[in-house]
Structure 1
Amino acid sequence: MRGTRSAGRLRQALRWSRRIIAGVVSICALVGVVRLVVPATAGTDGEPAGVQRQLSFLRAALDDGAGDEAQQLFPEGYFFLHALYGLTWVELGMREPAGERSEALREARWALERLDSPSGRAPFSADLVPSYGVFYRGWSNWLRGGVLSLQPAAHRDPAELRRFADDSAALGAAFDASRTPYLAAYPGQAWPVDSTVAMASLRLHDTLLPPRFAGTADRWLRGVRERLDPRTGLLPHRVDLDTGAPAEVARATSQSMIQRFLVDIDPDFAAEQYLRFRDRYVVTTLGLGPTVREYPEGTDGPADVDSGPLPLGVSLSASVVTAGAAQVHGDAALAEGLTNYSELLGLPVDTPWTKRYAFGLIPIGDAFLAWSKTARPWVADAPSPPPASLSWWWRLPLISVLVVLGVAPWVPALVRRRWWRA
């Protein structure tokens, strides 16, 4: 008798366990569908849902040493994590009325102070021209200009203005003296993306202070057009420092950033370059969703610390950053598609106070995604949207898969019930 009761309790426990597991699977599938269809961006004017909570997570992570941990992953980890945190706050602040930007201004200044510190400068050489190289000086100058952009013109901090003017002058002088459009980021090494960021910061200077770098920018653009990657017609990934000649085919990890900044330097040239990039690098992998190849279609190459692993040739980091480039260019369908795909695959964990992706294990990924969601031109007017390359219906195959996964755990029970009734 006791054995019969024990067997009955065991069967009942197994039934409830199966129901609980089935319920969890169905809820996860439903959440996946929601993440695919609910808008995850807000264009260049609205505030994307969740970004404030992402920044709360990132600030706590930075206070706990996430910058030093990121430095162990790649050479600019500490710098990039703080820079992206500060830039995202600038982006949010630009969406607020002038009198409501105090938090954004405080946090952006905090990040800038970390860049302007021994830890922020540690990977870079003071012997370069300009000192510490174009990567360090370009990104720092862009963030410094962003901090000034958050302040009313009549009340900008005089010391910050002087520093921005001086650093811009140093960059401008280095570009004017260079035989090529690309300055060194490290001794003997140059990447066009770094000079693109620096040149955008000079354009920003000319909107905040009396203009002085139009000639520098025009010469830079002429030099860039003369040295495009012959295989793609895009800015190359890496160049010969002495001549500026392409040394490596255009790659998505740098192109995704170039396309974000180039619009603030020359909108017409940027529009041409963006369409070339989109046509050659944005793909729908396995027919499931938009992603970005590290190398142009038909070409493969090695992964590195910037690209991360390249499953089927796709760079996850470039896919995230391209969402921001698409938004800057008014390509709302692609920006939304890439961000929705990230919401599904990134496994975000939401609380009322924070939001983190991949369980918060790689904060630099959270920083890039927050920065991409808030992308907008800082200097140029919003460009005319390019022809759409992605329809809403790309989601259907994934939604179908999720529906099947959500229903499948209940099928055995439904079959058994129908069998017993028969």
Structure 2
Amino acid sequence: MKRKATLSLLALLTALWATFSFPHYHYPAPDELHRKARYLEQQLSARSNQPSDLTRLEQLNPEWGLFSLSYAAYAFTNMAQLDSTFRPEAAKYVQLAIEKARTGRIPQSFQDIDAAPFTDSITSVLYLGHLNLMLGCHRLLNPVSPYRTLHDSLSASLHRRLAAVPGHCLESYDGGTWVPDNTVALASLHLHSELTGSPYRAFCQQWFSYARQHLCDPATGLLLSKPANRHQAAEEPRGSHLGWSIAFLYRFAPTFAAEQYQLYQQHCSTNFGVLRLYRERAGDYTTDIGDVDSGPLVLGFSIPANAFAFSNAVAMRDFRNAQRLRRVISIGGREIEADDALHYGVRFVDLPVSPMAEALVLHAETMTPWRKSSVIQ
């Protein structure tokens, strides 16, 4: 009798494991996406002197404010690719994001750009890369975008500086250079080429060929977080940076992105069947408070590593793995709905990350190619 009960329990557990392991990820329904976009639109439409989640986040960390704006713009662009009827709204929302990124506290927080924000005196590839990609998104959505001249001049400046600097990686802050921030700038140059026929696409190809040889960890083949230069030593590959880099490599070097995605899984993840978890560093099982990029580490696993891996899985159409990662995000988040708008809070702790979390997740769950052929001429 006991043996029968044991066998029945094992059969039930096996069935449950199969139920949760095998279903594949599907893009959310349009209604759900639009309710999420509505929350972000409310944040973008709020005046700078009005209390809002975005204003509070900018005050806490201007970098997070920038990411809220840029990832919202990328998410809206994804949505317009998936649903052409959303294009006019997407163009409107991206323009709101661009205007907030160009004014106020965010640009003032980046070195040397408060006085002359769109000249060669700008040093931060972090700021300029995201701004230029947002400009490209608006031009993709609206071929007569009022930002065309700015997009052309900023792309020319980024290309000139990237081509001239040793190692082809620009600084985000004085003395600090990160590979993932440069992948955003390169994605912006590739999109400019797609839209205008400019020659920057060729430089993007040269960059990832260079990266394969000089910007990857010899032991794992994964992209470094920081390149070695006269200001800094190289920093090992990190999950919170790798997933970010892969998401933008996908825009200009999809084959290289796919290679990095496979290596990322091989060296930094553990498959539990129902879930797949990603570590911040290969072979590191540390539990501690982490840092500003990784957040808390539990046995080496970090929240950002898993969140960005989710965007990678959707981009690579690895929908079975995407579903596992979506479950991880669902465990840590709770839905909040008000005024026909949907956003998320962090479960278990009071962590003020809205609207950045919403923008990142909406971008991840809608990852899709940006095609010029879908632009309405």
Which TM class, normalised by the smaller chain length?
Answer: 0.7 to 0.9
Q: Distance in 2 between matches of 1:380 and 1:106?
A: 18
Q: Is structure 2 residue 297 aligned with structure 1 residue 313?
A: no
Q: Distance in 2 between matches of 1:164 and 1:322?
A: 30
Q: Secondary structure of the residue that 1:358 maps to in structure 2?
A: strand
Kindly indicate whether the alpha-carbon contact (under 8 Å) linking 2:123 and 2:171 is maintained by their aligned counterparts in 1: no
Q: What residue in structure 2 maps to residue 232 of structure 1?
A: 220
Instruction: Quote the offset at 1:195 in angstroms.
Output: 0.7
Q: Deviations over 1:120-170 (max 9, x none)?
A: 21221127966141111111111111111112x4xx23x322111111101
Aligned twin of 2:275: 289
1:365 aligns with 2:357: yes
Using a 3 Å threshold, how does the CA distance of structure 1 residues 219 and 265 change in structure 2: closer, same or farther?
same
Q: Any conservation in 1 of the 2:129–2:182 contact (CA below 8 Å)?
A: yes
- Residue 74 of structure 2 is aligned with which of 87, 90, 96? 87
- Given residue 85 of structure 1, which amino acid in structure 2 is its aligned partner? A
Correspondences of 1:185-334 after superposition (within 5 Å)? 185-227=172-214, 228-242=216-230, 247-284=234-271, 289-298=275-284, 300=286, 303-334=290-321
Partner residue of 1:117?
103
Q: 2:368 is matched with which residue?
A: 376
| Structure 2 counterpart of 1:42, one-letter code | H
Instruction: Give 2:26's aligned residue.
Output: 42
2:14 is matched with none
Secondary structure in 2 aligned to 1:231?
A: coil
Q: How far apart, CA to CA, are the structure 1 residues paired with 2:60 and 2:300? A: 21
1:126 maps to 112
Change (3 A) 1:318 1:299: same
Matches of 2:293 and 2:190, distance apart in 1 = 27
Give the TM-score normalised by the residue count of structure 1. 0.72
* Contact map agreement 1:47 1:92 (CA 8 A) in 2: no
SS in 2 for 1:348: strand
Bigger radius of gyration among the two = 1
Letter in 1 for 2:244: M
The letter of the residue matching 1:310 is L
SS at match of 1:347: strand
Is the 1:263–1:380 Cα contact (8 Å) retained in structure 2?
no
Shift of 1:350: 4.2
Cα pair 1:40 1:49 within 8 Å, conserved: no
Task: Point out where structure 1 has 5 or more consecutive residues left out of the alignment.
Answer: 1-32, 382-422
Identical-residue share of aligned pairs (%): 25
Matched, 1:144 2:135: yes
Question: Residues 203 and 130 of structure 1: is their aligned pair in 2 closer, same or farther, counting only changes over 3 Å?
Answer: farther
Please give the alpha-carbon distance, in whole angstroms, between the structure 1 residues aligned to 2:224 and 2:364.
Answer: 22
Q: CA deviation at 1:298?
A: 3.9
Q: Which residue type is aligned with residue 312 of structure 1?
A: L
Q: Quick one: distance in 1 between partners of 2:100 and 2:339?
A: 28
1:179 aligns with 2:171: no
Q: CA RMSD in A?
A: 3.0
Q: CA deviation at 1:314?
A: 1.3
| Deviation (angstroms), 1:343 | 2.1
- Which residue of 2 is the match for residue 76 of structure 1? 63
**For residue 87 of structure 2, what is the aligned residue in structure 1?**
101
* Structure 1 residues 165-215: Cα deviation after superposition (integer angstroms, max 9, x where no partner): 111101100011111121111011100001111111111111100231134
Is this contact kept in 1: 2:21–2:324, CA < 8 A?
Answer: no
Change (3 A) 1:235 1:271: same
In structure 2, the CA distance between the partners of 1:349 and 1:147, relative to structure 1 (3 Å rule), is same
- In the TM superposition, what is the alpha-carbon distance from 1:85 to its structure 2 partner? 1.9
Do 1:94 and 1:150's aligned partners in 2 also have CA atoms closer than 8 Å?
no
Where structure 2 has 5 or more consecutive residues not aligned to the other structure, the ranges are 1-16, 114-118
Task: Tell me the matched-pair count.
Answer: 339
Q: How far apart, CA to CA, are the structure 2 residues paired with 1:333 and 1:52? A: 24
SS of 2:270 mapped into structure 1 = strand
Describe the shift of the 1:316–1:48 C-alpha distance in structure 2 as closer, same or farther (beyond 3 A). Answer: farther
